[in-house]
Amino acid sequence: MDFQVYWLLALPVFFGLGWLAARVDIRHLLIESRALPASYFKGLNLLLNEQPDKAIESFIEVARAEQQTVELQFALGGLFRRRGEVDRATRMHQNLVERTDLGPQQRTEALYELALDFLKAGLLDRAEPLFERLKDSDYEESALHHLLDIHVTEKDWTRAIQVARVLEQKTGEDRRGDMANFYCELAILAHTRSQFEEAQDFLKQALETQRNCVRAYVLRGEWTFKAGRVEEACAQWQELEQRDPDYLFLVARPLSDALRQLGQVNEAVTLMQGWMERYPNLDLLSLAFQLTLEIRGVEDALRLVRAELERRPTLGNLDRFLEAQLVSVAPELRAEVQRMRDIVHGHYERLAFYQCRHCGFKARSFHWHCPACGNWDSYPPRRQVETEGSAVTR
């Protein structure tokens, strides 16, 4: 009985407390709503009626009249930048940076947003110092990524290496591939200035940064060959087979030319045929066919291409097989084979592209640096036609 009486007394008390809390919340909401200017509600109404341009103008009036609406100014600045109105975004964020009543966190956010405005406008020299001021802030990691992009755009490879190292330390990201490519860019720049020893030092640093830096091996062999040290260049190019054989197609032709220059013609044919069998690639197949045709005759060349088509029935190999058939086909059949080859080759050409792993950008030629997303070593060494959707039904 005592327990039931207790609850009968408690229920009115809880009801009264709830009623009082609701009254306080409603009063607080009414006070806040009265404090907001009419332009704010006008802007909301325009947004609901799908009139964003007029709504923005109303919000701008609020931001001008009410200096305490910092978050609204940040929102408007970001909206202007996304709409491509970078000048208006810049003015909005500059006004925020110049205000003396902002707290440290809001000032840092204003600096970051202003740097993004300058970056969007292409004013890299103005964006760079602002990003550098964001060290040890919540925006440091994002600022470092933007700084790296700026240095790459400006081809300031030394500073790009410095920022990449800091990114590794701060975020744990593996940036060795990027830094190796930056050293290769420095090496190319030094080589064009005839600073050959310095260029070799940069290649050495690239290989120290990333042991299997394919680009460094390719460049080292190329420059050694140009210097007249043909045997040494051949050894350097062949070393790539132990590092990453999928990229042998990049050095196959200059290596075969170097071996022929040394009088090692049969060795060149044997080497290219061996590479083609162990590491199938259309470029290697084309080169092996040309060398075999020239050195060992039509029958051996046709046998080589036919065996490769049987082993890997792909569209690219069929294209090469039909090309080879044109060499030995009877004159009365040549026009027919040519038509077949033209159809296959046209389809192959539409599919024969390299595709960036990161953004999917397609390119006819191989790139170390993606022209679209800016990532390094993001192109696989095989064209899409060699990896998917290219099998020939038997």
What does the pLDDT read at residue 389? Answer: 44
Whole-angstrom Cα distance, residue 359 to residue 372?
Answer: 8
Q: Evaluate if residue 1 carries a pLDDT over 50.
A: no
Distance from the Cα of residue 187 to its chain's centroid? 22
Pull the structure tokens for residue 82: 């996304």
Distance from the Cα of residue 328 to its chain's centroid? 45
What does the pLDDT read at residue 22? Answer: 47
Binding residue numbers for Fe cation: 356, 359, 370, 373
The pLDDT > 90 percentage for the chain reads 39
What is the helix (H) or strand (E) element at residue 54, kind and residue range? Answer: helix 52-65
Torsion, CA 297, CA 303, CA 306, CA 308, rounded to 10 = -100
Q: Evaluate if residue 20 carries a pLDDT over 70.
A: no
pLDDT band per the 50, 70, 90 thresholds, residue 70? confident
What does the pLDDT read at residue 275? Answer: 93
Task: Using DSSP, state whether 301 is helix, strand or coil.
Answer: helix
Q: What is the pLDDT of residues 354-381, one digit of tens each?
A: 888 888 888 888 899 998 888 898 988 8
What is the helix (H) or strand (E) element at residue 355, kind and residue range? Answer: strand 354-355
Residues forming beta bridges with residue 364, ordered by sequence position: none
Question: Is the CB of residue 277 less than 8 Å from the CB of residue 285?
Answer: no
pLDDT band per the 50, 70, 90 thresholds, residue 160? very high
What does the pLDDT read at residue 309? Answer: 84
Q: What is the pTM of this model?
A: 0.76
pLDDT band per the 50, 70, 90 thresholds, residue 293? confident
Binding residue numbers: 356, 359, 370, 373
User: C-alpha angle with apex 50: 47 to 53, nearest 5 degrees?
Assistant: 70
Q: Evaluate if residue 5 carries a pLDDT over 60.
A: no
Whole-angstrom Cα distance, residue 76 to residue 20?
Answer: 38
Whole-angstrom Cα distance, residue 167 to residue 190?
Answer: 26
Q: What is the pLDDT of residues 247-263, one digit of tens each?
A: 999 999 999 999 999 99
Domains delineated in the chain: 43-133 (1.25.40.10), 134-211 (1.25.40)
What does the pLDDT read at residue 390? Answer: 44
Q: What is the mean pLDDT of the chain?
A: 81
Amino acid at 306: R
Of 371, 370, 366, the closest CA to residue 382 belongs to 366
What does the pLDDT read at residue 78? Answer: 79
Whole-angstrom Cα distance, residue 188 to residue 90?
Answer: 38
